[in-house]
Chains A and B, each alone.
Chain A
Amino acid sequence: MKSDASKAPAIGLDVGTSRIVAARQVEQSIRYDVQLNAFVSIPYSKMTENVLRKENVPYSVDGNEIVVHGNESERFADLLKKEIRRTMARGVLNANEPDSVRIIRDITSQLAGKAEKGQKLCFSVPAAPMGAEENLTYHEATMRDILAGMGFEVQSINEGLAVVYGELESSNYTGIGISCGGGLCNVCFAYLSVPVLSFSIAKAGDFIDSSAASVMGERANRVRLLKEQSFYMNGSFEDKLKQVLGVYYDDMIHALVGGMKTAFSGAKNMPKLARPVPLVLSGGTAMPKGFPERFEKILGESDFPIELSEIRMAADPLTTTAKGALVAALSDM
């Protein structure tokens, strides 16, 4: 597997707040590798280190702590009843975690491997959040530096645009791509592959988890696990936590739709559209059953100014952005 992967001419990397996904073309198919973009630190002991090494768990030693990162961090956090820590928050590097750069380098290195000569890598970057035009330059420059340091020819792509590239080839890459991730919901409207309008909102999966957790007195990590395993929209729940999740999901969708209406209504120089355009939803936060229907209902009530031909889920919501980044990298060759 490793040798096949290293021969891939290009890699698409979705650098998300919650997960990092690498996509590479291997023969006729796309291979995806996913790691949780998170870590947990545990007290150092020789025995623990030996166990981790024996079990092939990715870790690093930092002073008197062992840092377990990637997918395994979730298991350890649950075992130790600790919250997992994030290298990123709200779509960009987490300023409150001093080791975030080192850990994200470890995770991306594990996913992307060692670069072949001239191997291209395209990674996703979020759009600026609405109402808080934060400077994304540091995040993008740092990621570029990390990846270039691994030997790749690096380029970046807006996350929403990657969704369009990953899903909307049938409409000539015209339409709206939305990625509902952990830290942000990213929206991009592209016209014949050109990004016309893009933005993000800071309400996404983490907002739902932490809000529900604070109401229920639960850990956000446990809320996330429950959300991903058994929550669905539009249900009438006996379970209080699911009720609460439904409330915050609705809040997020209203914020997303409100943002879209504001952005599209206020956009200048929009192209004249000959026909309705498709809208694709992707990202882990959009995956609960019933999400597209709920989104469509709220959007339908909002007097959204663009006529849509369809609202649908991406074929595989968790890997769409990485696929789009790969498509962008390959189209640049």
Chain B
Amino acid sequence: MLTAPEKVGFSNTATIERKAQNIGDPIARLKYLRRVTAEPEPPKRRNPVRYVPFCLAVLLLTLRSDARLRHATEIHHAASPSGSEIQGVPNVWRVEATKDYEVFSNGLRIENDLAVANQPRSYRLISVDEQGRTAPPPLNPMPALPRPPHPAVKKDLRRLSPVTDGLPFEDGRSPSQRNIPAGIVFHTTESDQVPFEPGQQRNLQRITRDTLLFVRNKRAYHFLIDRFGRVHRIVAESDSANHAGNSIWADSRWLYLELNQSFLGVAFEAAMQNDQARITEAQTHSAKVLTEMLRSKYNIPAANCVTHAQVSVNPDNMRIGWHSDWGKGFPFHEVGLPDNYQQALPSLYLMGFEYDTLYVNSTGPGIWQGLATAEERLREASEAHRMPVPRYRALLRRRYSDEIRALHQWGADEEN
């Protein structure tokens, strides 16, 4: 048995992990990790007495005022990383669990009294590369392993992918499946709203209760954050919820279709009034600590925490934005995430969907930037494949149909 205890004692692992996470190219990331984890530990033979005054000073400062400590934390969050920066996954652990609630180390409390089971989560992994990488390749590319094309995927579609032109896979291999969440979709409940003020207390509580029972009955989300900021567990995390049926998202490696299975659904008790959801400060804070916990637990990349408007599609007319909740105004920064509105929409550049003026009107400048980037990628990919955009888009659409058919067939096989 091989053990290397002397090598696993290295310190500052959080920093190492954060830096590594920012390196997109797997080879470069491994190179970095092997270098930093091979470095010898700095000598530790120091006189501990030397540090006693310093430790005491730190202790006194931190104990001096709880308010001061909280103030410092708020400042830190206000300066949280912007847009393109990928944030590290915070470390959150469960402190207490009863049948009625759970408490976590970052202050998150989840109410469990309405929790309900649904179908166990299980979804098929589809390689983005298999779908045709349209983004410029990284400096030192190491694409994901080419997998055997599904029988439903026609030969000409497979040819689109620059990374599957290796040896064909002739043996029938079952596609990989996964049962942990890959991301989070944020929703609004679009339920009744009354002014958030003391005189409306009874109405507020009644509407919240009705909304909770409704979404529970529908198995609509995994979590609901009510207007008082309370986090309610609805569908068990291990199960799928009915929150984003026709939907598409992708990260650097995998394509996700019909996100009910692969993504967690987090809903705010809110409505897009005048195309703008108004949520309370308590809701924003709860969303932040809930997102932290989920990202920590499942190692969810920040880029996979997106809104319903970004993922929703309508296969009947091949337009995006069948649902447009959180099409603008989602407080990504306050929730501790980069501005994910700016991400190119995979439904456009990987699956050939289009958008209409209705979608543009119900969304904001953030998503418009994502639309422009997606269109640019689509153009680049069609040029790379030497075909006009409409023809390339038609191929992508056929690919979408094939993948959906394969997905449903796979789902049926799984049930059998």
- Residues on A lying within 8 angstroms of B by beta carbon are 25-33, 127-128, 130, 133, 158, 165-166, 169-173, 191-199, 263, 267-271, 274-276, 287, 289, 292, 309-310, 312-320, 323, 327-328, 330-331
User: Are B299 and A30 interface neighbours, CB within 8 A?
Assistant: no
Give the docked Cα–Cα distance between A330 and B304 (Å): 29
Question: Across the interface, which residues of A come within 8 angstroms of B167, CB to CB?
Answer: 31-33
Residues of A within 8 A of B74 (CB): none
Task: Let me know if B143 and A29 touch, CB within 8 A.
Answer: yes
- Contact among A26, A130, A195, A318 for B4, CB-based, below 8 A: A195
Q: Are B125 and A194 in contact (CB under 8 A)?
A: no
**Interface presence of B29 (CB below 8 A):** yes
Chain A facing B: main interface SS: mixed
Q: Are B33 and A172 in contact (CB under 8 A)?
A: yes
A residues within 8 A CB of B37? Answer: 192-194
- B299 contacts A171, C-beta separation under 8 Å: yes
Q: What class of interface size applies to chain B in its complex with A?
A: 35 or more
Taking CB as reference atom, which chain B residue is nearest A280? B176
Q: Which residues of B contact A (CB under 8 A)?
A: 1-5, 7-9, 13-14, 16-17, 20-21, 26-27, 29-31, 33-34, 37, 89, 91, 125, 127, 137, 140-148, 162-167, 169, 171, 173-174, 176-180, 253, 296-299, 301
Give complex CA distance A267, B166 in Å.
41
11 A/B residue pairs, CB under 8 Å, sorted by A: A26-B166, A28-B143, A133-B1, A166-B145, A192-B37, A196-B8, A274-B13, A274-B14, A309-B297, A316-B173, A323-B145
| Known contacts A25-B142, A33-B167, A128-B1; A165/B30 CB under 8 A | yes
Q: Collect the chain A residues with CB atoms within 8 Å of residue B140's CB.
A: 330
State whether B2 touches A199 (Cβ < 8 A): yes
A275 lies within 8 A of B299 (CB) = yes
Taking a contact as CB atoms under 8 Å apart, the answer to whether A193 and B178 are in contact is no
Complex Cα spacing A194 to B178, Å: 25
User: How far is B16's CA from A329's CA once the two chains are assembled, in angstroms?
Assistant: 22
Q: A173-B33, A331-B31 are in contact. Are A268 and B3 (CB under 8 A)?
A: yes
Shortest Cβ distance from residue B319 to the other chain A in the assembled complex, whole angstroms: 32
Docked CA distance A127–B1 (Å): 7
The listed residue (A32, A315, A331) touching B144 by CB distance below 8 A is A315
Assess the B297–A275 pair: CB atoms within 8 A: yes
Complex partner residue of A32 from B14, B143, B166, CB under 8 angstroms: B166
B29 lies within 8 A of A197 (CB): no
CB proximity of B291 to chain A, nearest CB, Å: 15
Q: Is B1 in contact with A263, judged by CB distance below 8 angstroms?
A: yes
Given contacts A30-B145, A315-B125, A315-B144, 5 further A-B contacts (CB under 8 A): A169-B30, A312-B179, A316-B147, A316-B148, A318-B173
